[in-house]
Every structure is written in structure tokens, then in C-alpha cells.
Amino acid sequence: MNFESSTTPRRAVFLTTPALWEHGHGKNHPLKPERLRRTCELLEAYGALAAPNVRVIAPQPATEDELALFHSRTYIEVVRILSEGGAWTETREYINPMRYGFGSGDNPIFPEMYETESLKAGSSLLGARLLVSGDCDVAFSYAGGLHHAMASYASGFCVFNDPAIAIQWMVDQGLRVAYVDVDVHHGDGVEAAFYDTDRVLTISLHQDGRTLFPGTGFIHDIGSGAGEGYAVNVPLPPYTDNDAYLWAFREVVPPLLERFAPDVVVSQLGVDTHYQDPLAHMALTTAGQTALFEAFDALAPRWLALGGGGYNLDVVPRSWTLAFGVMSGQTFPDELPESYRTRYGGQWLRDHEEPGIDDFTRQRVRHKVEEIVAEVKRVHHL
């Protein structure tokens, strides 16, 4: 399979609206809506959204029926009621928020929660519709990628699982879908949604669940029933750097996609693999992440790109700007635009520093990555 980026600019859609960042989990929560606003502003400052092959489209909230492509009707009703400040269902049953994953920690209840989170789901679903209809070649729903939410409860900052909703809609259209998740956390909710089907291939490269939330995603978790062999997990050790990560990706992902032959590739582009991310311990730089984006560009004839994790407000806008540059065939100057620098600080789009990993640790980690990949390839007959 060709592993070089396309030279012809894709017809790219960027899905955004200010409503995506007007409400959030709270000022002290790691998932800050500001990262979305900054990303949009940085792309605008570079002129990226005015390119002739780019369209900017404002998404609409997913309907209840669309949310029900993955979520239970009861859960959808609960989210709506809690969002409005209520505590009782229409049948006068008291809602215990903890039963549905809500509390004061990862998943607080916040004003306009239903509207904000259904908008993110609607964004990714619209991207899927535009791809399937042939209106674009790549769609970037950067507010999406909320891969931890389960059918009946919130998890890991995620209320509605937009990847699962969008993928299920595409499966219902008769398509084969490959989902590749490069967030630092295991894509557990999406994997669970399709664990027993051979219509969806789920691949997750993530920091080992023994060292990080959600504590899942091990090599021998491979699916069940008709889905056996269609769930692939590559749990990587902390301090995996660009070279080791990209080597693992190239050893596993291209041959799996070639064998599965998907109609659409959905990627979750969480950038919390960056060495400066406060919630994890991987060691990628923007150079390594850009190489991943270029790999997806080569591997995905039709590409639905989703956002995901990333909790360093300096890093996320730069990484996702580089991602959209790859998607739309644009290269940006390394010096950040003056308007952006004045407002947010910083100087460079690309990292000019490397993580401080000593040679012994780097070699030890690389050896462990090679062992993991060898076992993944054995289990999945690569």
C-alpha cells in the first residue's frame, strides 16, 4: 500500500461554529472549549479556511433519533433532563446522576450540556454524510472524537460518542468502515460499540491501560463472535517517542487496512500523545504527529477526521492546524501569525524542542514496542 501523501489537494470540509466552544465542563476541567476556539482562530489567521478547496460548514445538533444510533433512549432523556437542571424523568423516576456516569469529577453536569454535546455529535455525523454523498474527500470534525462514552453512560469527559454514531450511520448505508484511534487513551467506547461485528475494524494505538485511563485496550482484546479479529489494540509504553510510535503504526495499520479494504476511514486524532500533555506520558512532538496525519492522508480514500484529546492549550491548536494542513494540502509558515501570537503567545507552529528522554530509556522503550508489535502481528496474523 502506498504510504506517501497525495499530491492533489483534497476537497476538504472544516466543521465549526462558535456554539461548539460557548459552553463546557467548567473552568477547572481539563477539557477546555478554548482549545477549539484557538484552533479555529489559528487556521483563520493562516488563511487556511479561505483556500479554494476548503469549505467551512456549521453543523447542527444531532436529533434524538440520530443519537439513538448508538445511545439508549433512556440515557438520551437523562442527559437532556440533567442539562436542564432537572432530576426526574417524565414518568416521575428520580435520576441518580452517578448511575449514568455523571458526577463532580470527569463528567460534571453543566449548563447547555445536551445542546453542546449533541452539536458535537451532529458535527461528526454531518461529516459522514458529506463524505458518503461525495460532497468532499475529507471532513474534519475537530470538536468530535469523544470516544469514551458508552451506550448508557458518560465516561472520560465524553457524553455522546460521536464516532460510534457516525460509524453506525455509515454501516447502515452499507459501508465498511475502519476506525483508527491515535489518542493517548484507549478508544474503549467505539471498540465496545462494534466489538461483535465484522463490518467495522477498530484499531487503537494508546498508552498501556495499566498506566493510564481507562485501563483497557490490551493485545488479546480482539472482538467476539462475528467481530473476532476486528478489534485491534496496540498498547504502547510510556515515553514512546516519534520513531517508535511511527514504526509501530506502519507495521500494524497499513496491512490491516489493506486486508479490510474499508470504504471510509475514520480517524480519531487526539493529540494528547504530545510530550507536553499534562494527562499522559507519551513523547511525540508535532513532527511525529504530522507524520501520522500524512499517513492517514495516504491510507484513506475517504477520510472522516475527528478531534479528541489534547489538554495543553499551546499544543492542541498547533497540532490540529498541522492536521488540517495535511488534509487540505496546505503548508503553513513556521512562525505563528502575529495576530495569534499577540493574543495567545508562542512563536512557532512546529516544535523546536524535543522531549528530554535519555538514550537508555529510549532504547528500552523501543525494545518493548517491538515486543508489543510482534505479539499484535502474531495475534492478527499479519
The predicted pLDDT at position 1 comes to 31
Spatial separation of the C-alpha atoms in residues 141 and 55, rounded to whole Å? 13
The predicted pLDDT at position 69 comes to 98
How many helices, marked H, and strands, marked E, lie in the chain?
11, 8
Q: Catalogue all structural domains in the chain, each as residue range(s) with its CATH number.
A: 12-379 (3.40.800.20)
DSSP state of 284: B
The predicted pLDDT at position 7 comes to 64
Q: Which residues contact 183 (CB under 8 A, 6 or more apart)?
A: 145, 147, 204, 206, 268, 269, 270, 272, 273, 308, 309
Between β-strands 264-268 and 303-306, what pairing exists: parallel, antiparallel or unpaired?
A: parallel
The predicted pLDDT at position 330 comes to 98
Is 148 an annotated catalytic residue? Answer: yes
Q: Which of 117, 130, 144, 129 is nearest to 61 (CA)?
A: 117
Q: Which of 172, 274, 237 is nearest to 373 (CA)?
A: 237
- Find the helix or strand (DSSP H, E) in which 178 lies: strand 177-181
* Interior angle at CA 113, CA 279 and CA 118, nearest 5: 95
Provide Rg for the chain, Cα atoms.
20
Q: Which of 14, 258, 228, 220 is nearest to 136 (CA)?
A: 14
Spatial separation of the C-alpha atoms in residues 62 and 258, rounded to whole Å? 32
* Phi, psi values for residue 39, rounded to 5°: -60, -45
Strand (E) positions, the chain?
12-15, 54-57, 138-141, 177-181, 200-207, 231-236, 264-268, 303-306
pTM (predicted TM-score): 0.96
Retrieve residue 380's grid coordinates: 492478527
| Mean pLDDT per 10-residue interval, the chain, length 382 residues | 56 98 94 98 98 98 98 97 87 88 93 97 98 98 98 98 98 98 98 98 98 98 98 98 98 98 98 98 98 96 97 98 98 98 97 96 98 98 98
Spatial separation of the C-alpha atoms in residues 231 and 192, rounded to whole Å? 9
Check 147, 148, 186, 380 and give the catalytic one: 148
- Find the helix or strand (DSSP H, E) in which 298 lies: helix 286-299
Cα dist from 285 to 42, 48, 267, 297, whole Å: 19, 22, 19, 19
Spatial separation of the C-alpha atoms in residues 255 and 278, rounded to whole Å? 33
